[in-house]
C-alpha cells in the first residue's frame, strides 16, 4: 500500500502559510532567503514541478517575493496606508504655522502609515530641473521650453520591503526665487510639506484634485513595489491649484492595491 502523500501541494502550502504567518521559524521569517526550487524539492521529497507550484502559490498569496528565475525570499509584510483627503485641510493649516518643528511634526509618512520618518529604513530624495513629460506640461499649462523642478521621493519601511515612491513636478519659474527648494537635504525633511514650500514663494494652495486610475504593474514596478501576482497598481495624480485656479504642482503617486485605502471626503454646504 502506497504511503505517498496524494496532495503534497495543498499540504505544503497550508504548512508554510501557517509557519510564515507565525514568523518564528528560522528560514521562514520576513526577509529570509527561501530555498531554490531544486533545493526545496529535495528538502520535501517532491518533484521540481510540485515545488515550483507551491512557490508560485505562496507568491500569489503574498507570502514570498522574487521574480521567476531569481532569488526568492520570505516577503516583508507591506505597511497598510490610508490616504484620506482630510489630510489636505490639515496640511494647509500646518503649512501656515510659524514654528518649523510644529509644522514638521506630521508628514506624509505619519499621515499615510503612522510610521515616523526617522523610523524608516530608507528615505531618499532626488531633485533636478528637467523638461517636463508631455502630459505634465499639459496639466501645468507650460509653454515649449519651460522647465520643471522634479523631485523623486523614495521610502522603504524595512530592508527588502517594497518601495513607496512619488514624483513631484513644479514649474521652475515659480520656485526659482528660493534656492532652498532645490536642496535635496532640505526637501527630505521640509517642515510643512508642499504647501509650505509653495508658501515660501507666496503661493497659496486653493484646491487639490486627485485623479485615480488603475493598471497592471510592469515587471519593474512589480519588483520595486513588491507586488504579488494579480494585484493592480493604482495611479494617483494629485494636481494642486493656487487660489486663482492656476495649476502649480503635479504629483504622481503609484500605490499597490493590496496595501492602500483611499478615503475621499466631500464637505457639502448647508442649504441655509
Measured N-to-C along each axis, helices 48-60 and 8-22 cross at an angle, to the nearest 10 degrees, of 40
Rounded CA separation 7/44 (Å) = 13
Residue 36 has which C-alpha cell? 531554490
**Mean pLDDT by 10-residue block, N- to C-terminus, for the chain (272 residues)?**
64 93 91 95 93 94 90 94 93 91 88 90 96 98 98 95 96 98 94 95 97 97 95 98 97 97 93 86
Q: What is the pLDDT of residue 2?
A: 45
Residue 44 CA to its chain's centroid (Å): 36
CB-CB neighbours of 270 under 10 Å: 4
Q: 8-74 and 81-263: same fold?
A: no
Strand-pair category, 205-215 with 233-242: antiparallel
H or E stretch at 55:
helix 48-60
Q: Is residue 112 packed enough to be buried (19+ CB in 10 Å), middle (13-18) or exposed (0-12)?
A: buried
Residue 63 has what DSSP assignment?
S
3-state secondary structure of 40: helix
Q: What is the pLDDT of residue 6?
A: 53
CATH class of 81-263: alpha beta
CB-CB neighbours of 190 under 10 Å: 20
Strand-pair category, 81-84 with 260-263: parallel
The domain over range 8-74 is classified in CATH as 2.60.120.560: no
User: Is the Cβ–Cβ distance between 156 and 163 less than 8 Å?
Assistant: yes
Residue 37 has which C-alpha cell? 526550487
- Sheet with 233-242, strands from edge to edge, namely 122-130, 148-156, 164-171, 247-256, 233-242, 205-215
Structural domain boundaries in the chain: 8-74, 81-263
Amino acid at each position: 500500500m502506497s504511503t505517498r502523500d496524494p496532495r503534497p501541494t495543498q499540504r505544503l502550502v497550508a504548512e508554510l502559510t501557517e509557519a510564515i504567518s507565525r514568523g518564528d521559524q528560522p528560514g521562514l521569517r520576513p526577509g529570509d532567503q527561501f530555498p531554490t526550487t531544486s533545493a526545496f524539492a529535495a528538502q520535501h521529497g517532491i518533484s521540481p514541478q510540485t515545488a515550483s507550484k507551491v512557490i508560485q502559490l505562496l507568491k500569489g498569496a503574498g507570502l514570498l517575493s522574487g521574480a521567476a528565475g531569481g532569488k526568492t525570499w520570505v516577503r516583508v509584510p507591506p505597511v497598510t496606508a490610508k490616504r484620506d483627503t482630510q489630510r489636505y485641510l490639515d496640511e494647509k493649516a500646518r503649512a501656515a504655522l510659524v514654528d518649523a518643528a510644529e509644522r514638521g511634526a506630521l508628514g506624509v509618512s505619519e499621515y499615510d502609515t503612522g510610521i515616523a520618518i526617522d523610523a524608516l529604513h530608507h528615505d531618499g530624495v532626488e531633485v533636478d530641473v528637467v523638461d517636463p513629460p508631455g502630459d505634465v506640461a499639459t496639466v501645468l499649462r507650460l509653454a515649449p521650453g519651460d522647465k520643471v523642478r522634479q523631485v523623486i521621493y523614495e521610502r522603504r519601511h524595512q530592508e527588502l520591503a517594497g518601495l513607496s515612491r512619488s514624483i513631484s513636478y513644479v514649474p521652475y519659474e515659480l520656485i526659482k526665487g528660493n534656492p532652498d527648494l532645490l536642496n535635496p537635504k532640505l526637501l527630505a525633511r521640509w517642515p510643512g510639506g508642499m504647501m509650505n514650500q509653495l508658501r515660501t514663494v507666496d503661493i497659496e494652495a486653493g484646491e487639490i484634485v486627485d485623479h485615480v486610475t488603475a493598471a497592471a504593474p510592469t515587471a519593474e514596478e512589480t519588483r520595486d513595489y513588491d507586488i504579488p501576482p494579480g494585484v493592480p497598481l493604482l495611479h494617483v495624480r494629485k494636481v494642486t491649484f493656487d487660489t486663482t485656479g492656476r495649476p502649480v504642482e503635479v504629483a504622481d503617486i503609484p500605490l499597490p492595491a493590496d496595501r492602500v485605502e483611499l478615503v475621499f471626503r466631500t464637505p457639502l454646504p448647508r442649504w441655509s
